[in-house]
Amino acid sequence: MSFFSSGPRRKLFTAGSSLLAILMLTIALQGCSYVSSFFAKDDADLDDAGQAEGDNLPPPIANVSVTYKRPGDSLVRATVIKFFGAEVIANRQRGPAQTESVVRFDGGVPIWEFKTTESTLGSIIGAGKTKYALKTIEYAKLPQHFTQIIPEEGSPEPLDRGSYYVFQIERQSGSTSYQAVKVLADGSLQAYGAQPRAGSSYLLCCNVTSDFPEPVTLPEATANPSTAGPPPEEPPPDQPPAGESPDSGGPPAPEPGP
């Protein structure tokens, strides 16, 4: 006789099989989610990190990747310029699937700048040059062997959601690269390679999104329950208003005189 011939055992096996299938599907979905999050990161020049709306969000983070085309090249100076608005004034086709945009930014305030010290400039072309060939720069964290110029003291202001920034990287070889960045409401970044034009205009490449010049809607900060006062107390429904008698429903009768 087969082990699965009886009715109750067949139902028990079927239920157990369904539970096992659900468990395996859950594990598979979690695995796919982990793989997706792992491979979602790309090696773009500027990475970002942010939180979801509704949380007490930390300042946005920007990590700039520095590349060198010439052997033995190194970083000399890095500058971050803040802008408060943007306007796309021209578009032109660069290739079959690429469009360049000339964007004019509003403002232009340097908020962070650092460079190699004068005492170390001579060693850049010597044996110690690798100390200055930085691969990455994290905003507001001064690298070793460099001197901060702006601000003169303390850390620069945190990146501001809804604002625009241009990261300018100068190398010992004389080459300079630029990246234009918009900080979104959730702290993530939109970044494009840029080349300076007249005034505060830059040529951005490529395929600038239509909402790049639009203002962002900032997330509301979550209220702290510990600072909120207690709700007002309501009188019991059967308690009469002040000055009325609970028996008659009207104001109490005056007491008779002596």
Whether pLDDT at 244 is above 80? no
Q: What is the pLDDT of residue 79?
A: 98
Average pLDDT of 57-75? 92
Name the least confident of 35-44, 99-108, 166-175.
35-44
Average pLDDT of 217-244? 57
Instruction: Tell me how far apart the alpha carbons of residues 253 and 258 are, in angstroms, rounded to a whole number.
Output: 16
User: 50-55 contacts: CB < 8 A, separation 24 or more?
Assistant: 50/184, 50/186, 50/187, 50/188, 51/186, 51/187, 52/186, 53/185, 53/186, 53/219, 53/220, 54/219, 54/220, 54/222, 55/219, 55/222
Average pLDDT of 45-72? 73
Instruction: Tell me how far apart the alpha carbons of residues 197 and 130 are, in angstroms, rounded to a whole number.
Output: 32
Q: How far is CA 169 from the centre of its chain?
A: 22
SS3 category, 228: coil
Phi and psi for 176 in degrees, rounded to 5?
A: -135, 135
* Between residues 232 and 85, the one the model is more confident about: 85
SS3 category, 8: helix
Which residue carries 């990747």 as its tokens? 65
Percent of the chain beyond pLDDT 70?
58
Average pLDDT of 111-130? 68
- Average model confidence (pLDDT) for the chain? 75
Q: Is the dihedral of CA 223, 225, 230, 234 positive or negative?
A: positive
| Residue 73 CB neighbour total at 10 angstroms | 19
Q: What is the pLDDT of residue 234?
A: 61
SS3 category, 37: helix
Average pLDDT of 96-120? 91
* Identity of residue 155: S
Q: List, for residues 115-124, the tens digit of each pLDDT value.
A: 997 555 454 4
Phi and psi for 109 in degrees, rounded to 5?
A: -120, 120
Average pLDDT of 20-32? 39
Instruction: Tell me how far apart the alpha carbons of residues 162 and 218 are, in angstroms, rounded to a whole number.
Output: 8
User: Would you kindly state where each structural domain of the chain is located, as residue ranges?
Assistant: 46-205
Contacts of 200 (CB under 8 A, 6+ apart): 83, 104, 105, 106, 107, 108
Reported as a pLDDT band with limits 50, 70 and 90, residue 181 is very high
Alpha-carbon radius of gyration of the chain: 32
Reported as a pLDDT band with limits 50, 70 and 90, residue 51 is very low
